[in-house]
Amino acid sequence: MESSDDEADQAPAETCNENDAAMGTSQNAEDDVENEDVEEPVLDQLRRHSIPFASLLQSAYAPLEPRKESPINPVSLAMQLLILLLLSVAHASAAFSCKNQSGNDVDWFAVYKMPIEKDDGSVPGLASGTGWYYLDVNKKGSLAPSPKTLDDKDQAIAHTLQQYYDKQSDKSIFHVMFNDEPYGSKSPKLEEILSNRVLSNYSDAPSTSTIYGHTKGVIFFDGTSGIWLVHSVPLFPNPTKYEYPVSGHDYGQTMLCMTFKYPELKKIGTQLFFNRPNIYSSNLPSNMAAENPDLAKAIAGQYQKGQPTFNVVELQTKAGYTFTNFAKTKEFNADLYDKLVAPHLKTDLVVESWRRGSQIPLECQLTYHANDALSITVGKTTTFSYTKDHSKMAHSADMTKPWVCIGDINRMTSQYVRGGGTTCLSCSFLWKAYNLYFLNVFLKF
């Protein structure tokens, strides 16, 4: 059985192992509980008596006296405690979180968007390039085909981003959207795609630039919690409303959403400072800027120069899952996966990313290597070549070290001089789900 969203928030990181005891109720039951309204009689009593909140507290903690000397209280102590509980739940539900396919809070989820393929009935939207697979921490199994396409607004990605769109005028909310191919820019020309260059400053200028990191993402926080959506989709997202871009139709894409408590924003800001993202929409309240200095620098366009040229941090989600995030500057001047991720995780990697131009050369002296996927299959769809894929993902070659990474930088020589990174989780059921992707691999062990 799958654990409920509420239970997942309390689950320790080791529940990522699919062999652990299942907890909670089914997803349908979970949704029924979360959507259940407060019984009308309770609300009627509150409206009728209109007891001040201070009076509730006073009566709740007043010394107990013999019943014969106590006046009849129109609202019982149990009712008072229920009111406090409802207020607490209402406050908690207001915090930002990744959302599941039903629009309920979930600690993290992972997505694979299929490339355009002939419709074989395996997933809705396959022929239009809007078909995708979904998996979250509460669904400890294989990636499931989404019944709703990415154009639909009743699905996890849209539900997650809608939280920001609903509060975009609130200047107390921090947000940043960044993309090496930002929303509002023209899609790159063929020669730019092949060389992995992007248009500079979101303009129509023919010149190209590699000054910004090859990074894509959305982050928004209030003073309690927030989310980080890592993705590989060009020209996404729209800063004012949800829509899935045509630029994301043709090729395969990946996404990873994580829910964090506010203190983790400081470390996230440091990673952005190393990556130097191409920011096209942001708002950073002054109090958050003071509390997160590296984030403030990154939003202002500043970035890490000189040594160190990389940074690795552990980020703990709201429910206690530990993700490892890798960030490099352009001065790192090497492949992220070969020279940083594999040696840090102490495992060989299989990597799927956009690969054009010069391939990464073999370096036999390395203890751990990154190997390139040649073909991919997802669920019951037909196998397709890596040339139809624009994702940036990796997993360990060793199942005893079940690492899965989803990021925003490619494994190409042209990426040596670009900032960028990836986010990894050690998780057995996630590793098994992603291990099915890579059928043929160019091995360099």
Active site residues: 390
Q: In whole numbers, what is the pLDDT of the chain averaged over residues? A: 79
pLDDT reported for residue 75:
52
Domain ranges of the chain: 36-93, 98-442
pLDDT at position 391 over 90: no
Token pair 């529940």 in the structure block, residue: 15
Least confident of 23-27, 77-81, 419-423: 23-27
- Which of 153-162, 385-394, 432-441 tops mean pLDDT? 153-162
pLDDT at position 273 over 80: yes
CB 163 within 8 A of CB 259: no
Mean pLDDT of 157-164: 99
Determine whether 208 is exposed, middle or buried from the number of CB atoms within 10 Å of its CB (0-12, 13-18, 19+). Answer: middle
pLDDT reported for residue 350:
87
- Which of 54-68, 118-132, 387-401 tops mean pLDDT? 118-132
Mean pLDDT of 246-273: 96
Q: Specify the higher pLDDT residue, 140 or 74.
A: 140
Tell me the percentage of the chain whose pLDDT exceeds 70.
70
Mean pLDDT of 72-86: 55
pLDDT tens digits, one per residue of 330-375: 999 999 999 999 999 999 998 887 666 667 777 788 899 888 877 7
pLDDT reported for residue 374:
77
pLDDT at position 70 over 60: no
pLDDT reported for residue 224:
98
Other CB atoms within a 10 A radius of the CB of residue 373 amount to 24
Q: Specify the higher pLDDT residue, 275 or 380.
A: 275
pLDDT at position 13 over 50: no
Q: How far apart are CA 372 and CA 107, in angstroms?
A: 30
CB 157 within 8 A of CB 375: no
Q: How far apart are CA 166 and CA 170, in angstroms?
A: 9
pLDDT reported for residue 424:
98
pLDDT tens digits, one per residue of 284-314: 999 999 999 999 999 999 999 999 999 999 9
pLDDT at position 46 over 60: no
Quickly state the pLDDT bin for 387 (edges 50, 70, 90): confident
CA angle, residues 405, 408, 410, in degrees to nearest 5: 90
pLDDT reported for residue 326:
99
Q: Specify the higher pLDDT residue, 183 or 384.
A: 183
- Which of 108-112, 362-366, 375-379 tops mean pLDDT? 108-112
Tell me the percentage of the chain whose pLDDT exceeds 90.
53
Q: How far apart are CA 313 and CA 270, in angstroms?
A: 9
